């Protein structure tokens, strides 16, 4: 004799599936959401062996920027920054200001691959080398963006 399934069982199974799938669907995608011309210098940045960080001070009227300090990182520290740079969440948003506190240069075998200024105020990156005409936005306030900011900041307090 065939057994009848109760409607409540189907509903419970459907709810369980939804509760399991929704958190994954809301998670961050590995898909690149930024401008395609930035892809080789962000998500697809090649292997690097040296990172140069530059720190700037910005005048009160935000019209001038002065280079205040530089740091060269090699080995594990350079790889850590490059890896985190690749994993940022790049978006298609448009920046508002671009008053960078930092710039970063990525090198491979002594050759400059990318040179970018980074603004955590408007969440944007401006590519200096190569000279790309627009800025690339990223989620500077999320966990990965804050960690990148922390690594930049710590590079200037360490080795003193």
Contact 118, 104 (CB under 8 A): yes
Report the predicted TM-score, pTM, of the whole model to 2 decimal places. Answer: 0.76
Quick: pLDDT tens for 36-89.
Answer: 999 999 999 999 999 999 999 877 776 677 899 999 999 999 999 999 999 999
Top pLDDT among 119 and 62 is at: 119
d(CA 151, CA 81) in angstroms, rounded, equals 7
d(CA 91, CA 5) in angstroms, rounded, equals 47
Question: Among the listed ranges 94-98, 126-130, 151-155, which one has the minimum average pLDDT value?
Answer: 94-98
Supply the pLDDT for residue 60: 73
Top pLDDT among 4 and 115 is at: 115
């Amino acid at each position: 004799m065939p057994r009848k399934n109760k409607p409540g069982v189907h509903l419970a199974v459907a709810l369980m599936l939804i509760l399991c799938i929704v958190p994954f669907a809301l998670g961050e995608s590995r898909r690149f959401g930024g401008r395609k011309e930035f892809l080789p210098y962000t998500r697809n940045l090649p292997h690097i062996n040296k990172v140069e960080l530059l720190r700037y001070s910005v005048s009160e009227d935000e019209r001038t920027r002065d280079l205040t300090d530089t740091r060269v990182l090699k080995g594990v520290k350079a790889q850590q920054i490059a890896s985190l740079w690749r994993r940022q969440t790049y978006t298609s948003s448009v920046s508002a200001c671009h008053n960078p506190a930092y710039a970063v240069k990525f090198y491979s075998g002594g050759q400059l691959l990318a040179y970018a200024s980074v603004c955590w105020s408007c969440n944007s990156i401006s590519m200096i080398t190569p000279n790309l005409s627009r800025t690339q936005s990223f989620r500077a306030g999320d966990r990965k963006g804050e960690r990148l900011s922390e690594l930049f900041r710590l590079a200037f307090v360490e080795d003193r």
